[in-house]
Structure 1
């Protein structure tokens, strides 16, 4: 089993590149430094300009909480804090059953 989340962000056009860079950095660093992080993906919506999804997987809910309490999560939200008010919108939050 794994704990999955998916969130949606609508990003102002003038901050598009900054958002992409911050999300990719968060994902790279989370994958490298957080043992419970299994996957961290940034997906751009093909129909809505400047809409992005973060699709993430963790060993369990505790690993997700550790990510939320960690420095990469904080840095991401510090970067987008002033203009990232159009997200995140929760789309998925739960445990995968196999």
Structure 2
């Protein structure tokens, strides 16, 4: 399984817009992209303008397909002007 985690710092007046856009992206990606396994939006308990996305995909190819897809592009087009992303990690689950 391939995982990514990112943090987003959002302009305070656009938090509701960001949350709506992120939840829409997660819902639509999960419904339309078979390789999208998990898409969680997490609010930072200490900073009301910071959010995390925790995502899991069947494999790296499924993530790449998501990143090239409609929902990913629409999400970035929506939130890009009022938020800043920091990639925390990308990687594959290690198993024995």
Quickly name the TM-score band, shorter chain normalised: over 0.9
Look up the match of 1:17.
16
Pair 1:91-2:83 in alignment: no
Query: Paired residues, what number?
Result: 95
Q: Secondary structure at the match of 1:92?
A: strand
Cα distance in 2 for partners of 1:48, 1:83 equals 16
* Offset from partner CA, 1:49-83 (integer Å, 9 cap, x none): 21000000000000000000000001101111211
TM-score (structure 1 length as normaliser): 0.94
Q: Secondary structure at the match of 1:82?
A: helix
* Offset from partner CA, 1:30-61 (integer Å, 9 cap, x none): 00000100000000000112100000000000
Look up the match of 1:69.
68
Cα distance in 2 for partners of 1:71, 1:60 equals 19
Structure 2 residue runs of 5 or longer lacking an equivalent are none
TM-score (structure 2 length as normaliser): 0.96
Q: Which of structure 1's runs of 4+ aligned residues deviate more than 6 A?
A: none
